A and B are shown apart, each in its own frame.
Chain A
Amino acid sequence: MSGVRVLVGTRKGAFVLTSDAKRHRWDVSGPHFGGWEIYHLKASPADPNRLYASQSSGWFGQVIQRSSDGGKTWEPVGNKFVYDGVTGTHLWYDGTPHPWEFARVWHLEPSLTDPDTVYAGVEDAALFRSSDGGQTWQELPGLRGHASASFWQPGAGGMCLHTILLDPSHPERIFVAISAAGVFRSDDAGKTWRPINRGLQSEGIPDPKAEVGHCVHRIAMHPSRPGVLFMQKHWDVMRSGDAGESWQEVSGNLPTDFGFPIDVHAHEPDTIYVVPIKSDSEHYPPEGKLRVYRSRTGGHEWEALTKGLPQRDCYVNVLRDAMAVDSLDPCGVYFGTTGGQVYASADAGDSWAPIVRDLPSVVSVEVHTLP
């Protein structure tokens, strides 16, 4: 019988939430790696039982955990992330050169076809790859070797490579997003990269239309239409119809176009979800109402989804990696909050219910649909 496995990374451990296809009753396991920050966990699309987790701590650094039984047991694998060649510098917050320093893995993206191949997006921004199940890691140095890299600057959360999208139609094509540099694309499996930020406009940088320097919070694609990308930027929700060559704003009637996550319905490539957040710096829902907004038209026209979500006195945030969809029918949508709630909708966002209410602050949510 099919079901779903929701992988939740929090500030103090990982949790695995499991349900059958009805998605009404949930089993909660965890905390795994209690006391450690779990920035991200993700399952291999090629093997539903192969999971990878990024475990980190300000005291003890980075650990990568791997499971081969769907999260029941874990084993630590390689954690040696060494930048390739001369380390070089990027710009610090004050605009002075600052040497690249590895801090943590923000995002793990398993290969679409090989359970032993996985990509890691790290802070300070770089892309690593393992082809031996996480035992050893090699940087793909072409990204950080791009001519613009010495001008990249950190966002408030650090200079992180937080999004990795693998194009199912073009196996050599990879998209990554970096705060605050922007989106980059490789068409040769990560050897060379170019920024794809034309059309972005960011008032917080000296040249609002610069080639790099944009604080992109998240990008998403539908696997059936990988040339169409959606973006939640620091401000503005954007769409590209040409694999990132150009971007157009689709914020439309959103109450605020600031936010962190963005995701796409599993069966409707033009149905997308965001969680508008009030900013500057407040970073909580406008009016204390937690609302997911859905567009069925690829942007511009948005509807508030509120049924089952708190509509008063709610001041949590939803971080960039904390929203995911399953591939059941109807599509399930999930998100976690900094207040420790994980909400699920089994009807594409029409109604919501919490799976859990009192976890540590949620950093990431991923969903794996079980056969």
Chain B
Amino acid sequence: MIRVVLPAHLRTLARVEGEVKLDVEGQATQRSVLDALEARYPMLRGTIRDHVTHQRRAFVRFFACEQDLSHEPSDGPLPDAVASGAEPFLVVGAMAGG
């Protein structure tokens, strides 16, 4: 079970409160977690990564275990603590004015 923390605007869009808990088949990677997230909440498609290229949107970051994983390969394994559910995978909207 993978725990995902969404930014407030995406929680509102997906109509969830608190963390999202996902069952991810196979290895836990950025791609597999986001695939599972978008399968459960189709309205999030295109808001975190591009529909077609799956490239992360410029002002979105992925954090976990006090590390910025945003530039890690999308098919690389996530930390064991994320894969085991001990730590959440954080989708973060970049801090900026507006």
Residues in A lying within 8 Å of B, measured CB to CB: 35-36, 57-63, 76, 79-80, 82
In the bound complex, do residue B45 and residue A35 qualify as a contact, i.e. CB atoms below 8 Å apart? no
B18 at the A interface (CB under 8 A): no
Bound CA span A82–B46, Å: 11
> What 5 A-B pairs have minimum CB-CB distances, sorted nearest first?
A76-B43, A60-B47, A59-B59, A59-B93, A80-B51
Q: Interface size class for chain B?
A: 10 to 19
In the bound complex, do residue B43 and residue A60 qualify as a contact, i.e. CB atoms below 8 Å apart? no
Bound CA span A79–B45, Å: 8
Residues in B lying within 8 Å of A, measured CB to CB: 7, 9-10, 13, 43, 45-48, 51-52, 57, 59-60, 93-94, 96, 98
Bound CA span A36–B48, Å: 15
In the bound complex, do residue A60 and residue B51 qualify as a contact, i.e. CB atoms below 8 Å apart? no
Given A61-B46, A63-B47, is A36 in contact with B52 using a C-beta cutoff of 8 Å?
no
In the bound complex, do residue A57 and residue B9 qualify as a contact, i.e. CB atoms below 8 Å apart? yes
In the bound complex, do residue A61 and residue B52 qualify as a contact, i.e. CB atoms below 8 Å apart? no
Most A CB atoms within 10 A — which of B45, B51, B52, B57? B51
Bound CA span A57–B9, Å: 10
- Contacting residue for B46 out of A35, A59, A62, CB 8 A: A62
Q: Which residues of B contact A80 (CB under 8 A)?
A: 45-46, 51
Q: Which residues of A contact B45 (CB under 8 A)?
A: 79-80
Q: Is the interface of A mostly helix, strand, loop or mixed?
A: loop
- Contacting residue for A36 out of B9, B46, B51, B59, CB 8 A: B9
Given A36-B9, A80-B51, A82-B51, is A58 in contact with B59 using a C-beta cutoff of 8 Å?
yes
In the bound complex, do residue A63 and residue B13 qualify as a contact, i.e. CB atoms below 8 Å apart? yes
- Contacting residue for A61 out of B47, B94, B98, CB 8 A: B47
Chain A residue, CB-CB nearest to B98 = A58
Bound CA span A82–B93, Å: 24
Bound CA span A60–B93, Å: 8
Q: Which residues of B contact A57 (CB under 8 A)?
A: 9
A139 vs chain B, min Cβ distance (A): 13
Can you name 10 A-B pairs with beta carbons within 8 Å? A59-B9, A59-B60, A59-B94, A60-B10, A60-B60, A61-B47, A62-B46, A63-B13, A76-B13, A79-B45
B44 vs chain A, min Cβ distance (A): 9
Q: Which residues of A contact B7 (CB under 8 A)?
A: 59-60
Q: Which residues of A contact B46 (CB under 8 A)?
A: 61-62, 79-80
Bound CA span A76–B60, Å: 20
Q: Which residues of A contact B59 (CB under 8 A)?
A: 58-59
- Contacting residue for A60 out of B48, B52, B96, B98, CB 8 A: B48
Q: Which residues of A contact B93 (CB under 8 A)?
A: 59-60
B49 vs chain A, min Cβ distance (A): 10
Bound CA span A288–B20, Å: 51
Bound CA span A76–B10, Å: 12
Bound CA span A117–B7, Å: 32
A13 vs chain B, min Cβ distance (A): 11
Bound CA span A210–B79, Å: 59
B90 vs chain A, min Cβ distance (A): 14
